[in-house]
Structure 1
Amino acid sequence: MSRSDYSWIYPSQTNDGNEAGSLSAYRRLYHGIRAAILDGRLHPGERLPASRDLAKSLGISRNTVVTSFDLLTSEGYLETRVGAGSFVAGSLPDRDMHADPDRKSPTSKTASDRPLRLSQSVKRMLEYQRRFPRFRVARPFNPATPDLDGFPFDLWARLLRRSWRAPDIDLTIPDDPLGLPLLRGEIAKWLRQSRGVNCHADQVMVVSGAQQALDLIARALVDPGDIIATEDPGYEGIRGVLASSGAMVHPIPVDTEGLCVDGLSQTRSPARIVVTTPSRNYPLGTTLSLARRLSLLQWATSNDAWIVEDDYDSEYRYDGPPLSSLQGLDSDNRVIYVGTFSRVMFPGIRLGYLVLPPTLIPAFRGMRGFADGVPAPTAQAALGTFFAEGHFGSHVRKMRLRYGERRAHLKSLISETAGDILSVMPSDGGLHLCARLIAGHDDITLQEKMVKAGLDCRALSSYYHDKSPENRENLPQGLVLGFAGWKKNALSESFGELIEIINRSN
């Protein structure tokens, strides 16, 4: 290489734009030589200067040059020839992939120029991606926000530390894809006592949340072209994860008695799975009546179908004890029960569970090994102890009283100050209220205005399956108002802002 100045090979910046000064000297030289090789300034077979000469030219130590050359040689960028020195490798198949974009030829394309090829699975999923705004800090009236101030995080931290003081084999080398035995046993006990679920620990699978539970169910039980029936309105995230399997998502209307079971007979073929929220539809809050529960179970047996019972926040019922589960009525093992701790505790815990019919346990155990193996055990161990020492039940009872007061406060705000604008729909629990708009307002337009004002309010019509422009006028207009995460004075202040926005929209 007949060059007298090698300063260009010891850059002030790396080829990704980062300051080279933050790198060690040998890494800085390494990045400079590699970039020169990949963008063509150093050619295959070209000889590099001797390490002593290059060190003197750049004003760095010879050891720095030798270390850089060794690393480049081990990665295949350089070749060493005994007695001759170091040369640029003759074959570098990834040259064009890593070329400096500022030096590319006029006909070359960057990754952003090339058409992106996504799988059909992802394309189907993205059709249902949530369109709600995202605030970095939870704002009124987000319907999924619990009261984080009410959770005993100091206690939780102590339980996490205790788990690691003398960890047992299940924690250090977890090998059961279903989850830690302690937690599964406590979940089964809680569900039997509080929800009337007919289960034992061997049927419980710990997952990272309800979304993963649905993903596993779809992988195990659904083939492309199968029909999955979902509630309409319903949580859009459910439709997205199920649609990725290639299934046809078919909406079934919900009325004052819950899912309209008769609608299941209107599909071109029997649905493979029905996903329902019998304790409380999201977002309407309606409960599936006993007559329809029995009818749905009979339908599943007659059509060799599965029922997924999504029980997302049944701990919070204010007009009596929690309702018994649909699974508890199932005598034919057709119901897969899904629950989550994100709302009853805090969203970041990322833990939920499945209660599987016995016949599905081997398949789900094996499949989980190919998904994410074994769920992370640390939080599981702490949660198992949180249950076993009675903290979970105590927390639920405390928060049920607190949320009940906030719910009553929001209902009184609506009836006393906005009775001519909003009408609260009947519901006996949950972390939100659903209120119909009495006047002729467009809830999507109102949601956009409220977001600009810093209110995380949800439009009722956005939860319906068919949101096409031609169907917009047929959809109920309303607001979904979460109350759990804010004190009464914050609810009063935010509700006043909400009403002002609605009045200005007239």
Structure 2
Amino acid sequence: MTTRFELETLKIRINDIEFAALDLHQRIQRALRGLILEGALAGGIKLPASRALATSLGVARDTVENAYVQLQRDGYILRRKGSGSYVADRLGAELRGTAQRRIRAQAQKRGNPEPGEGLSLRGRTLFDNGGVSDQQAIKAFATGLPETRSFPLQVWERLQRQALKEHRGNVLLHGDPQGSEALRKAIATYLNLERGAKVAPEQVLVLSSTRQALFLCAQMLVDAGKPILMENPGYFGAKKAFEAAQARIAPIDVDAHGIRTDLLRADRSGASCLYLTPSHQYPTGATLSLERRLELIHWAAENGKWIIEDDYDSEFHYDGLPTACVQGLDPNRRTLYIGTFSKTLFPGLRIGYMVLPPELVAPFSAARSIIDGHTPQTLQLTLARFMGDGHYNAHVRAMRKLYAGRRACLLEAIGTHLAGIVTALRPPGGLQIPCVLEPGWSEQQTQRLAARAGIQLPGLSRLYAGEYKQQGWLLGYSSLTTSEIEAAIRQLAKALK
């Protein structure tokens, strides 16, 4: 070993936790590379022979030899037969020596970079607005999380094996950006029979999520900085997706019958699109009346507006039959319909879809091909079989019955244990219940007390635009058993009282 070769430093680097998952020869190679780039091993310096370094490190010679071979391939060292191995002298001063020390000194002077430093204006805006935190575990009172513990996984796995056997290597290739024809046919059949829609398979675009659909709508239909109309209160995920596309939110108030069409007619914002959740308004649970649906359709046609209908959980309607979707009532083809399997099946599936007016199918499919290409073919083909064999409808019916019982349990528990603190509304369907706090209680106060007991209370106020923000909670119940609901409400009542 030469006096300039830092053996002890090399040993420390090799054992660094950063390299723990690497093979030994990779760790030696990475450690030597770091010393070269930092200038600790200057250009032209002779490295120890592989046998000598192996002895010093207590490893096999082949291990060091493999590290040297990789360093030579990457251009960090030169190996001369009969002479030895040398640090390459052509790496450039900018990678080592005084220049590298100067860069480190400047970095220390600036201090640690702030989160988001160096972003574009668009990137900074997205970061400052925050992301969307999806619940990744079953706990009270997560919203929009379906029952997953009783999902028929064995049936799903069997159908997946069948799909793989039938299509073999084709599923390993790129898929159609618009989606598998088999799945598009299954979706169209389901919507026409169950939701009163008017859909041809050619109008269906298979996507990864509702938020991707909303992002596409904003990108394709709204210019940057221009407004898009949205219910107030409304779905925060939609707000984030629109903001990500640099659209500006123009809120329209809702009441007990859904979005107020009188405010739509009076709107002068210049927005070209309206996003709404007519079957179960998010978060109030109101169902848009038939009269207002027809007014909405007439307004869109008369003013050349697009309607973005998010039908996120209409399958779960407990008080009577669900109302037919707006898309099926719209003869003017101004409605873009969005659906998802995250609520009816499981969120890890990552499959949603849009039903588009015919003239928008090609543009939206092209845009989707740029974003992420296509949805995994194996999942699409498995889902198509799951729907075609009747398992999907059977599962939805079972979950509808299950959720109705869990909703009744939550309503009863709130009335028994939280009387005088909140009043629970009773939406006709959905997977969560909005609760309005009684005078004298604040949302932040209750959230803070609940957090001490290990309970996270999703707040209502964050879903409102403007100065007025309703104080309350939005309690999800669909992923919890009745005993878990009862225990969580008792625990919450104890924390608050």
User: Do they superpose with TM above 0.5?
Assistant: yes
Q: How does 1:181-220 map to 2 (within 5 A)?
A: 181-220=181-220
Q: CA deviation at 1:354?
A: 0.7
Q: CA deviation at 1:73?
A: 1.4
Q: In the alignment, which of 474, 478, 498 is matched to residue 492 of structure 2? A: 498
Q: How does 1:123-138 map to 2 (within 5 A)?
A: 123-129=124-130, 137-138=137-138
Q: Distance in 2 between matches of 1:93 and 1:278?
A: 64
- Alpha-carbon contact 1:9-1:33 (below 8 Å) kept: no
Moved more, 405-414 or 1-10: 1-10
1:311-363 Cα shifts (integer Å, max 9, x gaps): 11000001122220011111121111111111111111111111111001111
Partner of 2:469: 475
1:489 is aligned to 2:483: yes
Q: Distance in 1 between matches of 2:165 and 2:109?
A: 51
1:66 is aligned to 2:60: no
Moved more, 76-85 or 181-190: 76-85
TM-score for both structures, normalised by structure 1? 0.89
Q: Distance in 2 between matches of 1:234 and 1:216?
A: 19
Moved more, 179-188 or 9-18: 9-18
Q: CA deviation at 1:276?
A: 0.2
- CA 1:16/1:324 → structure 2, altered by over 3 Å: closer, same or farther? farther
Q: CA deviation at 1:376?
A: 0.8
Moved more, 299-308 or 242-251: 299-308
Moved more, 142-151 or 272-281: 142-151
Structure 2 residue identity aligned to 1:221? L
Q: CA deviation at 1:4?
A: 8.4
1:178-202 Cα shifts (integer Å, max 9, x gaps): 1111111111100111101111111
Partner of 1:293: 293
Partner of 1:163: 163
Unaligned runs of 5+ in 2: none
Question: What is the SS of the residue equivalent to 1:337?
Answer: strand
Q: Distance in 1 between matches of 2:393 and 2:157?
A: 18
Q: Distance in 2 between matches of 1:10 and 1:417?
A: 64
Structure 1 residue identity aligned to 2:352? G
Q: CA deviation at 1:112?
A: 7.3
- CA 1:125/1:418 → structure 2, altered by over 3 Å: closer, same or farther? same
Q: CA deviation at 1:252?
A: 1.0
Partner of 1:428: 428
- Alpha-carbon contact 2:147-2:479 (below 8 Å) kept: yes
Partner of 1:179: 179
Q: Distance in 2 between matches of 1:358 and 1:328?
A: 14
Q: CA deviation at 1:308?
A: 0.7
- CA 1:19/1:328 → structure 2, altered by over 3 Å: closer, same or farther? closer
- Alpha-carbon contact 2:175-2:375 (below 8 Å) kept: no
Q: CA deviation at 1:49?
A: 3.8
Q: Distance in 1 between matches of 2:97 and 2:495?
A: 52
- CA 1:176/1:448 → structure 2, altered by over 3 Å: closer, same or farther? same
Q: CA deviation at 1:432?
A: 1.4
Unaligned runs of 5+ in 1: none
- Alpha-carbon contact 1:277-1:309 (below 8 Å) kept: yes
Structure 1 residue identity aligned to 2:330? D
Moved more, 119-128 or 6-15: 6-15
Structure 2 residue identity aligned to 1:312? Y
- CA 1:53/1:155 → structure 2, altered by over 3 Å: closer, same or farther? same
- CA 1:4/1:240 → structure 2, altered by over 3 Å: closer, same or farther? closer
- CA 1:121/1:94 → structure 2, altered by over 3 Å: closer, same or farther? farther
- CA 1:367/1:4 → structure 2, altered by over 3 Å: closer, same or farther? closer
Partner of 1:113: 112
Q: Distance in 2 between matches of 1:306 and 1:449?
A: 44
- CA 1:205/1:109 → structure 2, altered by over 3 Å: closer, same or farther? farther
Partner of 1:315: 315
Structure 2 residue identity aligned to 1:192? N
Q: Distance in 1 between matches of 2:305 and 2:67?
A: 63
- Alpha-carbon contact 1:6-1:58 (below 8 Å) kept: no
Q: Distance in 2 between matches of 1:5 and 1:359?
A: 69
- CA 1:493/1:119 → structure 2, altered by over 3 Å: closer, same or farther? same
Q: CA deviation at 1:462?
A: 2.0
Q: Distance in 1 between matches of 2:251 and 2:60?
A: 71
Q: CA deviation at 1:230?
A: 0.9
Partner of 1:28: 27
1:25-82 Cα shifts (integer Å, max 9, x gaps): 4323312321210111111232334445545555555443332222111112123456
Q: CA deviation at 1:105?
A: 4.6
Partner of 1:223: 223
- Alpha-carbon contact 1:204-1:353 (below 8 Å) kept: yes
Q: Distance in 2 between matches of 1:425 and 1:62?
A: 74
Question: What is the SS of the residue equivalent to 2:47?
Answer: coil
- Alpha-carbon contact 1:39-1:95 (below 8 Å) kept: no
- Alpha-carbon contact 1:128-1:239 (below 8 Å) kept: no
Q: Distance in 2 between matches of 1:447 and 1:369?
A: 42
Q: Distance in 2 between matches of 1:329 and 1:93?
A: 69
Structure 2 residue identity aligned to 1:380? Q
Partner of 1:47: 46
- CA 1:426/1:73 → structure 2, altered by over 3 Å: closer, same or farther? same
Structure 1 residue identity aligned to 2:85? S
- Alpha-carbon contact 1:12-1:19 (below 8 Å) kept: no
- CA 1:321/1:14 → structure 2, altered by over 3 Å: closer, same or farther? farther
Question: What is the SS of the residue equivalent to 1:375?
Answer: coil
Question: What is the SS of the residue equivalent to 2:106?
Answer: coil
Superposed CA RMSD in Å reads 3.0
Q: CA deviation at 1:98?
A: 12
- Percent sequence identity over aligned pairs: 35
Q: How does 1:238-253 map to 2 (within 5 A)?
A: 238-253=238-253
Q: Distance in 2 between matches of 1:39 and 1:15?
A: 18
Structure 1 residue identity aligned to 2:161? R
Q: Distance in 2 between matches of 1:44 and 1:140?
A: 61
Q: How does 1:360-375 map to 2 (within 5 A)?
A: 360-375=360-375
1:279 is aligned to 2:273: no
Q: CA deviation at 1:126?
A: 3.7
Q: CA deviation at 1:166?
A: 3.4
